[in-house]
A and B are shown apart, each in its own frame.
Chain A
């Protein structure tokens, strides 16, 4: 395990040096919250049963995950496109796990920095804490767990580069599903019932909507549901990642690196 954590630590050190990108993410976080607070002020979130303040906190919490997870797929597809993967596969540790743990390092650093941004901007815009402030404390570990599972799925997307060369189009669809089915901008409660049902069957609602709603409402049963679903999706993701990775490597061996 120690060798994998070393990759995470290297990624943290690397990310720490990349200040320009961190500042940009910080600013983007603020801009998104500002845009949506303007939107909710214009239409009134009371109509969907949420106080304007809680609506902004909801968005801050979902965005914390979305803006933190690293785009591992770009690193993987670059390795495959340039042929570097052929050299990286000869290491005594599985290539995909290296990428995954590097991603974890980047994720944790970003989450720590963006936690300040999200809290600061949301507090500044709303002028106070959410209705259940304790939920914020609870959300810290839950949000990190959800982000780790999202990062796992990001790695799986990257593995499709073994077949497609460029996995970006799959990432577009993944990110938009997070947007819509995950309830990133709008809580799923306001969706038509049929769309809510579809969303709840996908992993996306477990990534964003369920953990955020459970923590914001301090609902123990909902939190349990969120954690169970996240764990199930994590196990499915781990198995899928391993299977796809082995098939991808086999394909690379057959066709040449």
Chain B
């Protein structure tokens, strides 16, 4: 009963925070539209590289342009949703090192949840829109495939957010590593947007462990191309594993956290 109440409270809190973040973003309507629109252009222009590529090479070990379209669509959509809902994850290392978690620790809410969802980035909306456009063009976004699509997108989203928490949580032990955490994040995105059929077995293993881009792009799209219960199970278990690991690591780190002795307000960005 208490858990149910807690869940309901957190849900209500989350929706309120979302509304505030959205209000904050749209208060500068011009900047919001500019960022979102340019991000759509950015993603679609980037994809033209693959269009040029597939004009010359019809497929990469069985992967065609529609599959690449789906891969980009999944990664763009998941990236967008994660920075809209949990934009604070990218700043966690900075908050930890700068002692900025104090403001969240004093609130009667889950610290990780609160700090992660305290920021929202306008560019994420552009990612979401371009993700949907690319998924639409891939041909995999149909009414029949919607439940599977939503499931794989959700799992991919969980892994993506949790990787961010894991990398950024290292700041509890390693101190200033904001820039490094962002670079790690970029590595994951870089590996997520290439078809993993091109990699050796050793690299594939890395892509499901150290730099788990495989869970974000490759596995979800493989399921859309050809469904298998074992792959779905692997994706669900993988995302659950990353979720548990990220929460455990953050909470362990929080015990080592040193206050910044600062009084600041919770801002939305």
Question: A: which residues have CB within 8 A of B?
Answer: 18, 20-21, 23-25, 27-28, 31-32, 34-35, 38-39, 41-43, 47-48, 164-166, 168-170, 172-173, 176-177, 179-180, 185-186, 190-192, 195
For residue B190, which residues in chain A have a CB less than 8 angstroms away from its CB?
28, 31-32, 35
Least Cβ distance of B42 to chain A in Å?
4
For residue B198, which residues in chain A have a CB less than 8 angstroms away from its CB?
35, 38-39, 41-42
Partner among A32, A176, A185 whose Cβ is within 8 Å of the Cβ of B42 = A176
Let me know if B165 is at the binding interface, CB within 8 A.
no
Which candidate, B48-56, B139-147, B153-161, B222-230, is the interface stretch facing chain A?
B48-56
For residue A25, which residues in chain B have a CB less than 8 angstroms away from its CB?
183
Least Cβ distance of A105 to chain B in Å?
18
Least Cβ distance of B128 to chain A in Å?
16
The docked-state distance in angstroms from the alpha carbon of A216 to that of B180 is: 33
Contact with A along B1-44 (1 / 0, CB 8 A): 00000000000000000000000000000010011011101100
Contact with A along B38-70 (1 / 0, CB 8 A): 110110011011001101110011000000000
Let me know if B197 is at the binding interface, CB within 8 A.
yes
In the complex, are the beta carbons of A195 and B197 less than 8 A apart?
no
Give me the 5 closest cross-chain CB pairs, A-B, nearest first.
A169-B38, A24-B183, A172-B42, A38-B198, A42-B198
List 24 interface pairs A-B (beta carbons < 8 Å), by A numbering. Answer: A20-B179, A24-B184, A25-B183, A28-B183, A28-B186, A28-B190, A31-B190, A35-B191, A35-B194, A38-B203, A165-B31, A169-B34, A169-B37, A169-B38, A169-B42, A172-B39, A173-B41, A173-B42, A176-B41, A179-B45, A185-B49, A190-B52, A190-B55, A192-B52
For residue A42, which residues in chain B have a CB less than 8 angstroms away from its CB?
60-61, 197-198
The docked-state distance in angstroms from the alpha carbon of A35 to that of B48 is: 18
Q: A31-B187, A170-B38 are in contact. Are A47 and B180 (CB under 8 A)?
A: no
For residue A195, which residues in chain B have a CB less than 8 angstroms away from its CB?
52
The docked-state distance in angstroms from the alpha carbon of A206 to that of B193 is: 27
In the complex, are the beta carbons of B180 and A28 less than 8 A apart?
no
In the complex, are the beta carbons of B45 and A190 less than 8 A apart?
no
Let me know if B110 is at the binding interface, CB within 8 A.
no
In the complex, are the beta carbons of A186 and B52 less than 8 A apart?
yes
Q: A38-B200, A172-B39 are in contact. Are A179 and B49 (CB under 8 A)?
A: yes
Q: Name A's interface SS.
A: helix
The docked-state distance in angstroms from the alpha carbon of A185 to that of B51 is: 13
Q: A164-B31, A176-B46 are in contact. Are A192 and B183 (CB under 8 A)?
A: no
In the complex, are the beta carbons of A166 and B45 less than 8 A apart?
no
Q: Closest residue of chain B to A191, judged by CB?
A: B52
The docked-state distance in angstroms from the alpha carbon of A20 to that of B97 is: 15
Let me know if B135 is at the binding interface, CB within 8 A.
no
Q: A42-B60, A176-B46, A180-B49 are in contact. Are A20 and B177 (CB under 8 A)?
A: yes
The docked-state distance in angstroms from the alpha carbon of A28 to that of B37 is: 28
Q: A31-B187, A47-B56, A177-B45 are in contact. Are A21 and B35 (CB under 8 A)?
A: no
Q: Closest residue of chain A to B187, judged by CB?
A: A31
Least Cβ distance of A45 to chain B in Å?
10
Q: A35-B190, A38-B199, A172-B38 are in contact. Are A180 and B45 (CB under 8 A)?
A: yes
4 more CB-based (< 8 A) A-B contacts, given A20-B179, A169-B42, A173-B45: A20-B176, A21-B183, A38-B199, A173-B38
In the complex, are the beta carbons of A24 and B179 less than 8 A apart?
yes
For residue B56, which residues in chain A have a CB less than 8 angstroms away from its CB?
47-48, 190
Least Cβ distance of B76 to chain A in Å?
13
Q: A179-B49, A180-B49 are in contact. Are A166 and B186 (CB under 8 A)?
A: no
For residue B60, which residues in chain A have a CB less than 8 angstroms away from its CB?
39, 42-43
Least Cβ distance of A17 to chain B in Å?
12
Q: Closest residue of chain B to A25, judged by CB?
A: B183
Q: Closest residue of chain A to B177, judged by CB?
A: A20
Q: A28-B183, A169-B39, A190-B56 are in contact. Are A179 and B46 (CB under 8 A)?
A: yes
Q: Closest residue of chain A to B57, judged by CB?
A: A43
For residue A176, which residues in chain B have a CB less than 8 angstroms away from its CB?
41-42, 45-46
The docked-state distance in angstroms from the alpha carbon of A176 to that of B37 is: 14
The docked-state distance in angstroms from the alpha carbon of A149 to that of B145 is: 49
For residue A34, which residues in chain B have a CB less than 8 angstroms away from its CB?
203
Least Cβ distance of B163 to chain A in Å?
16
Q: Closest residue of chain B to A176, judged by CB?
A: B45
* Interfacial residues of chain B within 182-219, with CB under 8 A of chain A in the complex: 183-184, 186-187, 190-191, 194, 197-200, 203
The docked-state distance in angstroms from the alpha carbon of A42 to that of B48 is: 20
In the complex, are the beta carbons of A186 and B49 less than 8 A apart?
yes
The CB with the most chain B CB atoms within 10 A, among A23, A24, A166, is that of: A24
